[in-house]
């Protein structure tokens, strides 16, 4: 056994590394910038946690979602690592100051990109001895950075020249995204550990139907096939609506989206992980980083914007290695709905020109944006570009972006209309080859030997146990 393996067992209780982990860890320990592209659920978090114990300094983890950050930091605390702090914009002023003043006492600091950009945080971090900088879900630099997280694009600038090695982690990156990661994080000849993003135990299914048939399809699917599962929908409103339809029919279902208060989100997640709720109707707020090992099905009621987000969401399934199924429901009008959603927020040439004119006329940023009819998100993107290049180039870049989004959408549509193996299409979309054939592959290759999916006898939905209030206290406290 190697020393690393010993440490793996000692700190995490695992005997063996999963494919890719050890290479990534060694590269990090050698002080090299590293990009690790490992499929969803392989254990990318361990790729920075383990080497951190061998480096004497602080590890910074830049993470795109607050919920993801909270999850990771509390699960580390639960596993006995108490020197973890999470800095995000949801912290109260006092909390933030308390953490910042004691920051040298921590070993792992999770931070959101917008926090990193705050002068106070930046200065404090500069005084520390950093040994590793991790960018989790690094594809966001490309996928979201342009979109509504321009902050991600500035990480490289903030880190400056004199910095420790950077480790970028993601499950989904094609060559273009890898380029962006390298460029925006100012990485120098990064070591690349790239594994196929294929998840062999996931079966892909596309079902074509009319929009108004989807609810009924989902109902009968839940009746006949195995959970637990996640049903991804396009909006918060739809998540609430579908969850209440399903629970009224006696299914164990709940809604999850960013509009719910924090406690309710934790409750749903906890109920789901414990198996007290079987189906979650969710927006894309429930996804990245969520870890429950026995999810059997992912159903998409709408067409996701990009292949990357589709893979992320589908990647929640089958993390125990057992078979799982991903179904995409498609109605012809979905194409235009999704196109509208993704193009709607993109400022066009005219509004950019108006915006800069208003600015020159002395208007404030917000006023100018309002008058040019740009959303806040759009404004942030445009501001970022304007700080980097002349107006004309900004317009060209935005046109370029719009084209890219359309290309992303086309790739999703290719899957929907595919006449050949869906798995092949997906892998090709990320620049991977796939010429295999296997059982339980996809709805094109054929869905034989899927017995595991069907319920043996259609089980009566269980009526939830209800307690009187006094009983509930007894159960809570184990008396």
Partner 1 sequence: MELSSLILFMVSKMNGERSKNACLHIFRGKKSSQTLQDVQYFNLKPFFSVLSKLDAETYETHLYRLLADGYVKEADGRLYVSKTGLQKVKELDSCYFNGWDYRGNEIVFFHRLALAIQTISYFKEGIKSFMPIQTDREVQLFVKGMARHLPLENKEFPRKIGGELKNALQASGMKDRQKLIIVSRLSGFSITGRTWDQLAEELQMSPLSVYLEFIEGLHRLLDVIHEERDYPFLLQAAEGVKSSLYLTDSADQTRRLFAKGMNVEEIATVRRLKLSTIEDHFVEMAINDKTFPLTDFVLSKQVNEVVLKVEELGTRRLRMLKQEFGELSYFQLRLILGSKLGGGK
Ligand X SMILES: Nc1ncnc2c1ncn2[C@@H]1O[C@H](COP(=O)(O)OP(=O)(O)OP(=O)(O)O)[C@@H](O)[C@H]1O
36 binding ligand X? (CB under 6 A): no
Q: How far is the CB of 81 from partner 1 (least distance, A)?
A: 10
298 in Cβ contact with 229 (< 8 Å)? yes
DSSP code, position 44: S
Find, among 327, 376, 369, 331, the residue nearest to 352 by Cα: 369
257 binding partner 1? (CB under 8 A): no
328 binding Zn ion? (CB under 5 A): no
Which listed residue (27, 34, 42, 112) binds ligand X by CB under 6 A? 42
Tokens of 155: 């990480």
242 binding partner 1? (CB under 8 A): no
Find, among 65, 105, 66, the residue nearest to 83 by Cα: 105
Residues 270 to 309 in contact with partner 1, rule: CB under 8 A: 270-271, 274, 276
Partner interacting with residue 442 (select from ligand X, Mg ion, Zn ion, none; CB below 5-8 Å by kind): Zn ion
Between the alpha carbon of residue 107 and those of residues 65, 101, 110, 118, the distances in Å are 20, 14, 10, 21
CA–CA–CA angle 329, 334, 340 (5° rounding) = 145
Partner interacting with residue 80 (select from ligand X, partner 1, Mg ion, none; CB below 5-8 Å by kind): partner 1
Q: Helix 422-429 and helix 307-314: axis angle, to 10°?
A: 120
45 binding ligand X? (CB under 6 A): yes
300 binding Zn ion? (CB under 5 A): no
Site string for Zn ion, 437-476 (x = CB under 5 A): ----xx--x-------------------------------
Segment contacting ligand X (CB under 6 A): 12-20, 389-397, 430-438, 447-455?
12-20
289 binding ligand X? (CB under 6 A): yes
Partner interacting with residue 396 (select from Mg ion, Zn ion, partner 1, none; CB below 5-8 Å by kind): none
Partner interacting with residue 314 (select from ligand X, Mg ion, partner 1, none; CB below 5-8 Å by kind): none
Q: How far is CA 14 from the centre of its chain?
A: 25
Residues 6+ apart with CB under 8 A from 232: 282, 283, 284, 287, 298, 299, 300, 301, 302, 304, 313
Residues 97 to 126 in contact with partner 1, rule: CB under 8 A: 99
- Rounded Cα–Cα distance for residues 394 and 391 (Å): 5
Segment contacting Mg ion (CB under 5 A): 42-50, 353-361, 445-453, 454-462?
42-50
Cα dihedral across residues 283, 289, 292, 296: positive or negative: positive
Which listed residue (1, 3, 56, 80) binds partner 1 by CB under 8 A? 80
Segment contacting Mg ion (CB under 5 A): 37-45, 58-66, 107-115, 371-379?
37-45
């Amino acid at each position: 056994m190697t020393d690393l393996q010993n440490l793996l067992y000692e700190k995490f209780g695992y005997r063996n590394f999963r494919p890719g982990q050890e290479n990534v860890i060694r590269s990090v320990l050698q002080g090299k910038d590293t990009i690790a592209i490992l499929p969803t659920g392989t254990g990318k978090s361990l790729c920075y946690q383990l080497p951190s114990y061998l480096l004497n300094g602080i590890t910074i983890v830049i993470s795109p979602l607050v919920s993801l950050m909270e999850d990771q930091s509390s699960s580390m605390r639960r596993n006995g690592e108490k020197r973890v702090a999470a800095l995000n914009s949801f912290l109260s002023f006092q909390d933030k100051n308390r953490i910042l003043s004691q920051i040298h006492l921590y070993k792992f600091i999770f931070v959101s990109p917008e926090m990193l950009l705050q002068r106070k945080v930046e200065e404090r971090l500069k005084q520390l001895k950093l040994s590793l900088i991790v960018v989790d879900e690094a594809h966001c630099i490309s996928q979201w950075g342009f979109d509504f997280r321009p902050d991600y694009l500035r990480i490289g600038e903030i880190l400056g020249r004199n910095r420790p090695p950077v480790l970028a982690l993601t499950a989904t990156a094609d060559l273009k995204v890898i380029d962006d990661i390298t460029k925006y994080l100012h990485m120098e000849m990064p070591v690349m550990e790239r594994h196929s993003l294929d998840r062999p135990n996931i079966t892909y299914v596309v079902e074509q139907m009319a929009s108004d048939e989807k609810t009924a399809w989902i109902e009968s699917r839940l009746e006949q096939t195995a959970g637990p599962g996640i049903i991804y929908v396009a909006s918060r409103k739809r998540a609430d609506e579908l969850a209440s339809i399903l629970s009224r029919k006696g299914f164990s279902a709940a809604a999850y989206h960013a509009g719910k208060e924090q406690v309710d989100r934790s409750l749903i997640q906890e109920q789901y992980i414990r198996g007290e709720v079987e189906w979650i109707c969710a927006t894309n707020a429930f996804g990245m980083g969520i870890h429950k090992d026995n999810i059997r099905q992912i159903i998409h009621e709408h067409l996701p914007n990009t292949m990357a987000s589709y893979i992320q969401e589908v990647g929640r399934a089958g993390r125990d290695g057992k078979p799982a199924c991903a179904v995409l429901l498609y109605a012809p009008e979905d194409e235009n709905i999704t196109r509208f959603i993704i193009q709607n927020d993109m400022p066009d040439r005219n509004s950019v020109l108006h915006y800069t004119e208003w600015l020159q006329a002395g208007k404030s940023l917000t006023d100018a944006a309002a008058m040019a009819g740009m959303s806040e998100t759009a404004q942030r993107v445009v501001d970022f570009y304007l700080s980097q290049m002349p107006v004309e180039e900004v317009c060209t870049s935005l046109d370029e972006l719009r084209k890219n989004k359309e290309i992303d959408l086309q790739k999703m549509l290719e899957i929907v209309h595919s006449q050949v193996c869906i798995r092949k299409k997906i892998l090709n979309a990320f620049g991977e080859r796939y010429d295999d054939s296997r059982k339980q592959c996809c709805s094109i290759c054929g869905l034989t030997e899927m017995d595991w999916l069907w319920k043996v006898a259609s089980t009566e939905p269980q009526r939830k146990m209800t307690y009187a209030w006094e009983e509930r206290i007894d159960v809570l406290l184990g008396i």
